Amino acid sequence: MRASGALSRAQRYAQILATVVGVVAILVVGAVLAGCSPQPAPESPQPTPATSPEPEPTPSEEPWVRFTDSRLPHSFEVPPGWTVADLGGNAEIGAFQFGVIDPEGRQLLTFASRVQGLGGACQELPVLRIQEADTQSVELQGYVAAAETPAPLVAPRVVYRISEVEDGALASLSLSDDIPPEACMYYNLLHTEAGLAMFATQLQVDSFDPAASPWLFGSVEEAKEYADTAEYEQLVRVLSSLSFTE
């Protein structure tokens, strides 16, 4: 009876041991298999989109201002910072003058309506040989040419005239609808049905005292170079903006 009981216990111990060994084996095999199974690849970092700096806003050009006067139907534009000065006139006949002044205080253009009192004698003054260094056609709103004039008219244009003199070259920039003859002087004029008008650097150009003119250049070449400046372009735009209607 003892022997039988002892064997039975030994068998049970052997069974338990076999079961434990089997479980351990299963766990070891499972761990090995798990270590051999493919692992998911690590995610690649996504590239950060490149950001370019925002461009600086382009400063907008200040608008030009149209000058008007309640006494006149005429108007014209001036650049920002420029002013127009009332130079007086005769209200009874509608004759007025205005100076166009740049930011430095220089009067570069003059506008005049109902121009009168022209004339003069050359006597022995030198003749001005006029060279039209630059001309630009313009359409002037409300412009109507005079029916009768001393000489044939041409279409209105901005014209830059240069005349060589002893001390250099006299120049003028104006609106003009005629071709003045060569003499000791000429006028920058528009011949309209409402009378003579002037919009120019100066009304009269003459050979009497060229050194007194602010538009005397050292040479013809120097006078021509002025036409390539930004200031010249501004003056051309001012002249081209003239309107004869309200």
pLDDT score recorded for residue 158: 98
pLDDT score recorded for residue 119: 83
pLDDT score recorded for residue 15: 53
Three-state secondary-structure class, residue 65? strand
| Angstrom distance (rounded) from CA 6 to CA 14 | 12
Q: Are 210 and 216 in contact (CB under 8 A)?
A: yes
pLDDT score recorded for residue 21: 42
Total residue count of the chain as it appears in this document? 246
Q: Are 87 and 99 in contact (CB under 8 A)?
A: yes
Q: Are 223 and 171 in contact (CB under 8 A)?
A: yes
Three state DSSP letters for 70-116: CCCCCEEEECCCCEEEEEEEECCCCEEEEEEECCCCCEEEEEECCCC
Q: Are 186 and 119 in contact (CB under 8 A)?
A: no
pLDDT score recorded for residue 101: 98
Dump the DSSP string for 26-57: HHHHHHHHHHHSPPPPPPPPPPPPP-PPPPPP
Number of H helices, E strands in the chain: 3, 13
pTM for this entry: 0.76
Most distant CA atoms of the chain, gap in Å: 170
Query: From its phi and psi, is residue 89 left (phi > 0), alpha (psi between -120 and 50) or beta?
Result: left
What is the mean pLDDT for each group of 10 consecutive residues in the chain (246 residues)?
Answer: 44 47 42 48 57 64 94 97 97 96 98 92 92 98 95 96 96 97 95 97 96 96 98 98 94
Q: Which residues of 23-49 are buried (b: 16+ CB within 10 A; e: fewer)?
A: eeeeeeeeeeeeeeeeeeeeeeeeeee
